[in-house]
């Protein structure tokens, strides 16, 4: 190993690395080889306390700066991140196992987009003047205070930045807990923010499992919790936050539909299905894992898909030619294998993949099931792995009804060359982040988030500002106060 992976401390608090070996050991395993590449420790209560105290102090100082000054720190951090994209991408690959071909364009780049966007927006976050004749009301957009971010393991840099950038732009401080599976990348985000001029304590990283997250969520000093994770965790975190009447953003799981009509450009639809099922080895919340294909083109779609799967380059994630890497962990691979077995047992037709790849690390083949029916486990439950379910349909009405028959509502996509149909169908699909003739684009300019069990609140875009700030209204009376007595 030539690359330095072990950080100077497990946590990053008050502008510096901190260690407390009394915390439970967190081994960091490189998914492509199964080797341990670093060892971190979960935060003890003393570490969590240190982080919250530092955040509270920094927030008071940060909120006093002009929004333009705050924005300048974020845009500076964006520039540093972009400059170091290569090293950050290599680290992201070690942390997650995702191919460098992806991490070079989707992680630190997306993180720096968020820092740049919200840094640019900071100075334009103003209140309103509301005339009431002689009197008036004005509003002030205020920060919430100390916020907590809790991350999933699939996009550790992006998740940290998608939460930190709008939070900090609005004048908040953050304590961020990465997933215990991918604890490394957020530490680099913290380092870069310090280097860019953020006050010590503004963005702190504490490591740990669920208990550490839970201790942050229940702390009375915390004003808001933003979680990216699964629905079961979301339920627990939302309930705990409700007890303290805290603001929440919940970015949770999905079982999103992609509808391919018989007038669609088949290559584009197949491309969308590949992106929406196999990018990051299928470990993406918004994936279109239920691919509804109109009966007339079903066999042509499957044939083209099979041809294109042969072009997947499966191998060493650090080789830029590799386009398909391992699952993040052995545990996740085992979960996905269980779903594949259920698919076969429940009668779906396995048309590609299905097996573990014979090499070190946690590699599964890109897997496609056809003739999947709505009641099968693989069509109902989030798999979070490289498993595509292809279902057939006859009519538009039927496809919409079946696409909506899920408790989730994160994303949805439509492939058709009939523009009216594209908009008509998307208008009826109950999902937060949708695509027409495309899949899984997530530019920072667009709101991102789900409906139904997939979550509450929105990340990215101007919409995120509403979730990281609050309005104070001030009534100003110009005349005398008239009281009844
Ligand atoms: P997870 O729910 O197991 O864990 C998410 C985070 O929550 C981890 O950091 C974990 O330590 C923490 N956590 C667990 N229990 C907690 C508790 N009681 N209190 C506070 N924190 C707790 O999810 P995961 O396996 O890391 O990630 C995969 C899931 O994340 C999938 O369901 C996926 O769809 C979802 N996800 C959603 C989005 C989105 O933006 N909507 C993005 C990526 C992943």
Q: 434-459: per-residue pLDDT in tens?
A: 999 999 999 999 999 999 999 999 99
> What is d(CA 290, CA 276) in angstroms, rounded to the nearest whole number?
10
Report the pLDDT averaged over residues 313-324.
Answer: 98
Q: Is residue 205 part of a domain?
A: yes
Q: Directed axis angle between helix 185-195 and helix 156-169, to 10°?
A: 40
Report the number of distinct structural domains present in the chain. 2
Torsion over CA of 251, 253, 254 and 255, rounded to 10 degrees?
170
Q: Are residues 292 and 203 in the same domain?
A: no
Q: Is residue 155 part of a domain?
A: yes
pLDDT for residue 1: 46
Q: Which residues of 163-199 are buried (b: 16+ CB within 10 A; e: fewer)?
A: bbbbbbbbbbbbbbbbbbbbbbbbbbbbbbbbebebb
Question: Pick from 373, 376, 306, 298: which is nearest to 341 by CA?
Answer: 376
- Nearest residue by C-alpha to atom 19 in ligand 1: 214
Q: Is residue 239 part of a domain?
A: yes
Q: Is residue 478 part of a domain?
A: no
Q: Are residues 203 and 340 in the same domain?
A: no
Task: List Cα–Cα distances, 224 to 176, 204, 248, 293, 314, in angstroms.
Answer: 12, 15, 6, 41, 41
Average pLDDT of the chain to the nearest whole number: 98
Q: Are residues 292 and 424 in the same domain?
A: yes
Quick one: which atom of ligand 1 is closest to the CA of 240? 19
Q: Are residues 217 and 267 in the same domain?
A: no
Task: Spell out which residues line ligand 1, taking CB within 6 angstroms.
Answer: 150-154, 177, 179-180, 209-210, 213-214, 217, 228-230, 233, 236-237, 251-254, 285, 382, 384, 410, 450, 455
Nearest-5° Cα angle at 282, 314 to 389: 105
Q: Are residues 162 and 179 in the same domain?
A: yes
Quick one: which atom of ligand 1 is closest to the CA of 178? 9
The CATH number of residue 410's host domain is 3.40.309.10
Q: Is residue 482 part of a domain?
A: no
Q: Are strands 469-476 and 135-143 parallel, antiparallel or unpaired?
A: antiparallel
To test the ligand 1 pocket, which listed residue (43, 95, 98, 152) has its Cβ within 8 A of the most ligand atoms?
A: 152
* Tokens representing residue 176 in the block: 């961020």
Report the pLDDT averaged over residues 244-249.
Answer: 98
> What is d(CA 384, CA 283) in angstroms, rounded to the nearest whole number?
5
Q: Is residue 274 part of a domain?
A: yes
Domain range for 205 = 11-253+454-472
Q: Is residue 447 part of a domain?
A: no
- Nearest residue by C-alpha to atom 13 in ligand 1: 210
For the chain, give the percent of residues with pLDDT over 70.
99
Rounded to the nearest angstrom, the distance between the alpha carbon of 154 and the centre of ligand 1 is 10
Q: Is residue 1 part of a domain?
A: no
pLDDT for residue 3: 58
The structure tokens 């279902």 sit at: 391
pLDDT for residue 2: 46
3-state secondary structure of 290: strand
The CATH number of residue 75's host domain is 3.40.605.10
pLDDT digits (tens, 9 = 90+) for 112-123: 999 999 999 999
Q: Are residues 308 and 271 in the same domain?
A: yes
Q: Are residues 287 and 147 in the same domain?
A: no
To test the ligand 1 pocket, which listed residue (106, 157, 229, 237) has its Cβ within 8 A of the most ligand atoms?
A: 229
pLDDT digits (tens, 9 = 90+) for 57-73: 999 999 999 999 999 99
List for the chain the helix, strand, coil content (%; round to 5). 40, 20, 40
Q: Are residues 150 and 174 in the same domain?
A: yes
Q: Are 440 and 287 in contact (CB under 8 A)?
A: yes
Rounded to the nearest angstrom, the distance between the alpha carbon of 393 and the centre of ligand 1 is 33
Q: Directed axis angle between helix 45-64 and helix 210-217, to 10°?
A: 50
Active site residues: 251
- Nearest residue by C-alpha to atom 22 in ligand 1: 210
Q: Are residues 212 and 231 in the same domain?
A: yes
> What is d(CA 307, CA 360) in angstroms, rounded to the nearest whole number?
26
> What is d(CA 278, CA 288) in angstroms, rounded to the nearest whole number?
10
pLDDT for residue 4: 65
Q: Are residues 197 and 299 in the same domain?
A: no
Rounded to the nearest angstrom, the distance between the alpha carbon of 150 and the centre of ligand 1 is 8
Rounded to the nearest angstrom, the distance between the alpha carbon of 329 and the centre of ligand 1 is 15
Q: Are residues 466 and 419 in the same domain?
A: no
Rounded to the nearest angstrom, the distance between the alpha carbon of 162 and the centre of ligand 1 is 15
- Nearest residue by C-alpha to atom 32 in ligand 1: 230
Q: Are 190 and 162 in contact (CB under 8 A)?
A: no
Q: What are the φ/ψ torsions at residue 204 (nearest 5 degrees)?
A: -115, 150
> What is d(CA 259, CA 427) in angstroms, rounded to the nearest whole number?
13
To test the ligand 1 pocket, which listed residue (43, 233, 329) has its Cβ within 8 A of the most ligand atoms?
A: 233
Rounded to the nearest angstrom, the distance between the alpha carbon of 207 and the centre of ligand 1 is 14
* Tokens representing residue 191 in the block: 């380092």
pTM for this predicted structure: 0.98
For the chain, give the percent of residues with pLDDT over 90.
99
- Nearest residue by C-alpha to atom 5 in ligand 1: 229
> What is d(CA 401, CA 37) in angstroms, rounded to the nearest whole number?
47
Q: Which residues of 348-360 are buried (b: 16+ CB within 10 A; e: fewer)?
A: beebbbbeeeeee
**Residues near 427 by Cβ (< 8 Å), separated by ≥ 6?**
none
Q: Which uninterrupted H or E stretch holds 140?
A: strand 135-143
Question: Pick from 161, 209, 6: which is nearest to 91 by CA?
Answer: 6
Q: Are residues 81 and 173 in the same domain?
A: yes
Residue 332, pLDDT > 50, answer yes
């Amino acid at each position: 190993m030539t690359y330095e992976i072990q950080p100077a401390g497990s946590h990053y608090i008050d502008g510096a690395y901190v260690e407390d070996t009394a915390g439970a050991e967190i081994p960091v395993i490189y998914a492509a080889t199964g080797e341990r590449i670093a060892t971190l420790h979960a935060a003890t209560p003393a570490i969590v306390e240190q982080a919250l105290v530092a955040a509270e102090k920094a927030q008071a100082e940060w909120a006093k700066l002009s929004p333009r000054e705050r924005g300048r720190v974020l845009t500076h951090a964006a520039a540093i991140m972009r400059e170091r994209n290569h090293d950050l991408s290599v680290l992201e690959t070690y942390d997650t196992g995702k191919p460098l071909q992806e991490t070079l364009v989707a992680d630190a780049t997306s993180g720096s987009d968020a820092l740049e966007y919200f840094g640019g927006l900071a100075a334009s976050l103003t209140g309103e003047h509301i005339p009431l004749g002689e009197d008036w009301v004005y509003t002030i957009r205020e920060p919430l205070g100390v916020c907590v971010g809790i991350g999933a393991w699939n996009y550790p840099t992006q998740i940290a930045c998608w939460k930190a950038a709008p939070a900090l732009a609005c004048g908040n401080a953050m304590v961020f807990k990465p997933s215990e599976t991918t604890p490394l990348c957020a530490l680099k985000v913290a380092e870069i923010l310090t280097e860019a001029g953020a006050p010590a304590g503004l963005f702190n990283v504490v490591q740990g499992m669920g208990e550490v997250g839970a201790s942050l969520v229940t702390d009375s000093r915390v004003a808001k919790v933003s979680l990216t994770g699964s629905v079961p965790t979301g339920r627990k975190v939302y309930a705990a936050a409700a007890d303290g009447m805290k603001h929440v953003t919940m970015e949770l799981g999905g079982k999103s539909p992609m509808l391919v009509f018989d007038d669609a450009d088949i290559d584009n639809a197949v491309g969308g299905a590949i992106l929406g099922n196999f990018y990051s080895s299928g470990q993406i919340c918004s994936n279109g894992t239920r691919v509804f294909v109109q009966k007339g083109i079903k066999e042509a779609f499957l044939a083209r898909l099979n041809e294109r799967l042969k072009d997947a380059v499966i191998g060493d994630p650090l080789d830029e030619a590799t386009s398909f890497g391992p699952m993040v962990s052995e545990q996740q691979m085992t979960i996905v294998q269980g779903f594949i077995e259920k698919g076969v047992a429940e009668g779906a037709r396995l048309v590609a993949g299905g097996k573990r790849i014979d090499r070190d690390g946690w590699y599964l083949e890109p897997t496609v099931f056809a003739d999947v029916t709505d009641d099968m486990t693989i069509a109902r439950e989030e798999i979070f792995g490289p498993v595509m379910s292809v279902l057939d349909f006859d009519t538009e009405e039927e496809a919409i009804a079946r696409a909506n028959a899920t408790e989730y509502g994160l994303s949805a996509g439509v492939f058709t060359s009939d523009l009216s149909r594209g908009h008509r169908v998307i208008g009826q699909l109950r999902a937060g982040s949708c695509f027409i003739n495309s899949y899984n684009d997530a530019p920072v300019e667009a709101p991102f988030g789900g409906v139904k069990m997939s979550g509450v609140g929105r990340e990215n875009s101007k919409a995120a500002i509403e979730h990281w700030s609050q309005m104070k209204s001030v009534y100003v009376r110009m005349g005398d106060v008239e009281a009844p007595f």
